[in-house]
Amino acid sequence: MKTNRLNANDADFVPRLMALTAWSEERDEEVGERVRGILRDVAGRGDAAVVEYTNRFDRRDAASMADLTVERAQLEAALERLPAEQRQALEAAAERVSDYHARQKQDSWHYRDAHGTLLGQQVTPLDRAGIYVPGGKAAYPSSVLMNALPARVAGVAEIVMVSPAPDGELNDMVLAAAAVAGVERFFTLGGAQAVGALAFGTETVPAVDKIVGPGNIYVAEAKRQVFGKVGIDMIAGPSEILVVCDGKTDPDWIAMDLFSQAEHDEEAQSILVSPDADFLARVEEAMERLAPTLERETVIRTSMANRGALIQVDDLDQAMEVVNRVCPEHLELSLDDAEVWAKKVRHAGAIFLGRHTPEALGDYCAGPNHVLPTSATSRFSSPLGVYDFQKRSSLIGCSPEGASELGKIASVLSRAESLTAHARSAEMRIKKPL
């Protein structure tokens, strides 16, 4: 199998590794300009603009937004007609994802200091969340669950989902997943026009407070442009996996784990790190043998050749250095004592512990979210979670004594900053000596 071979002791290892894993978002001035135009139009003309763009880009023939609205009853109907096995799998996955996310929910808290002053934070859900789900070929019901369920668990009052239906085609399982996830409103919209409708609101589409979910370059650019007016999640890059294996896992398992990432698209990245040169060779042999058995062999071969790598290290400590340099979206620790080794991981989206935890289980049903920071952004960001649909307000309630004591400190500091009204406002609460 054609892929990149690196040794962590090579003189040029670090620059080669960095070049291989580097990814910078393609941003195109022309795309930026087109998106700006669409957003301006949707903000100004509402439904009329949204219908026009949708008819044009998705080859639809809608007379009004009514034709682009999917009623809750249609979602339920899609769920009803799903084969029993698929419905059960969807509901079992939703239950596990909800259970896990319930543990992320944050509560309001407060305490009182020695002066009786109350300090804390009040935690509240967003009023309304918008979920963007790609349509057409890459319509993934699992993405509906992973984006909508954290909002549901957070207590978001209304979840508005948009998903394009090119040529009017809708994926039944996506509709069913929306039913399971408790989506209240569903519009068959996509592209920048869908993002604009969610951000600004139209006569039909309610304006939301935050937009999450993956999309193409137009969707990503539109999310960037409306950021600030509404919240957005991270802009995702290609998906990646890094597997660290001690050489004692079945090479077929590891080969298929690498493929499960490589099959996504040509830009996906699969890296195996091992101290066992012989094991690397056996995985390579397994990859060559297994690739022809897969529908997406061509995509797999392309992504393994361009962005894949087999990396030999001296030992597992050196492997962990590679991990913390790459900061992978998915990290599989296929080795003994994985829980102990995990504590050495400083940056990763999700850590899969042990030989029995392939990434695919996390993608669908283990419980944690599959929306994860890519392209080394795990250095500063986290998996999508309930915390993305909650926000906090600081609480400060001074007792008269507390205000008097704090007023003295605030007076000195605000006068040092030449903010006299701040100082006077604080000083008015200082108790006068009797």
Please report, in range form, the residues annotated as the binding site: 132, 193, 216, 239, 261, 264, 330, 363, 417, 422
Q: Residue 217: what are its φ and ψ, rounded to 5°?
A: -65, -30
For the record, the structure tokens of 218 come out as 């137009």
Q: Which is nearer to a copy of itself, 65 or 177 (CB)?
A: 177
421 binds a copy of itself (CB under 8 A): yes
Minimum CB distance to a copy of itself, residue 420 (Å): 5
Name residue 221's amino acid. Answer: E
Could you tell me which stretch among 9-17, 57-65, 80-88, 304-312 binds a copy of itself (CB under 8 A)? 80-88
Could you tell me which stretch among 7-15, 186-194, 224-232, 311-319 binds a copy of itself (CB under 8 A)? 224-232
Known catalytic residues? 329-330
Q: Which is nearer to a copy of itself, 190 or 231 (CB)?
A: 231
13 binds a copy of itself (CB under 8 A): no
Measured in whole angstroms, the distance separating CA 427 from the mean position of its chain's CA atoms is 47
233 binds a copy of itself (CB under 8 A): no
For the record, the structure tokens of 56 come out as 């044009």
165: which DSSP letter? -
Q: Which is nearer to a copy of itself, 3 or 369 (CB)?
A: 369
167 binds a copy of itself (CB under 8 A): no
Contacts with a copy of itself in 203-222 (CB under 8 A)?
Answer: 209-210
3-state DSSP assignment of residue 115:
coil
Q: Which residues are annotated as a binding site for Zn(2+)?
A: 261, 264, 363, 422
CA-to-CA distance for 242 and 348, rounded, in angstroms? 10
| Sequence-separated (6 or more) residues with CB below 8 Å from residue 223 | 195, 211, 215, 232, 235
118 binds a copy of itself (CB under 8 A): yes
Residue 383 near residue 349, CB atoms below 8 Å: yes
Instruction: Give the residue, chosen from 79, 407, 432, 434, that forms a contact with a copy of itself under the rule CB under 8 A.
Output: 407
Instruction: Give the residue, chosen from 349, 386, 433, 434, that forms a contact with a copy of itself under the rule CB under 8 A.
Output: 349
Cα angle for residues 241, 369, 245 (degrees, 5° grid): 30
Instruction: Give the residue, chosen from 21, 98, 303, 377, that forms a contact with a copy of itself under the rule CB under 8 A.
Output: 377
Q: Which is nearer to a copy of itself, 10 or 354 (CB)?
A: 354
Q: Maximum CA pair distance of the chain?
A: 91
Residue 312 near residue 278, CB atoms below 8 Å: no
CA-to-CA distance for 424 and 369, rounded, in angstroms? 50
Q: Which residues are annotated as a binding site for substrate?
A: 239, 261, 264, 330, 363, 417, 422
Minimum CB distance to a copy of itself, residue 245 (Å): 14
Cα angle for residues 198, 218, 176 (degrees, 5° grid): 55
CA-to-CA distance for 367 and 99, rounded, in angstroms? 7
For the record, the structure tokens of 95 come out as 């239950």
Instruction: Give the residue, chosen from 50, 75, 93, 244, that forms a contact with a copy of itself under the rule CB under 8 A.
Output: 93
Could you tell me which stretch among 12-20, 38-46, 116-124, 276-284 binds a copy of itself (CB under 8 A)? 116-124
Contacts with a copy of itself in 305-344 (CB under 8 A)?
Answer: 331, 338-339, 342-343
Minimum CB distance to a copy of itself, residue 175 (Å): 13
Residue 148 near residue 156, CB atoms below 8 Å: no
Q: Which residues are annotated as a binding site for NAD(+)?
A: 132, 193, 216
Instruction: Give, rounded to a whole angstrom, the gap between the first and last alpha carbons of the chain.
Output: 87
Minimum CB distance to a copy of itself, residue 106 (Å): 9
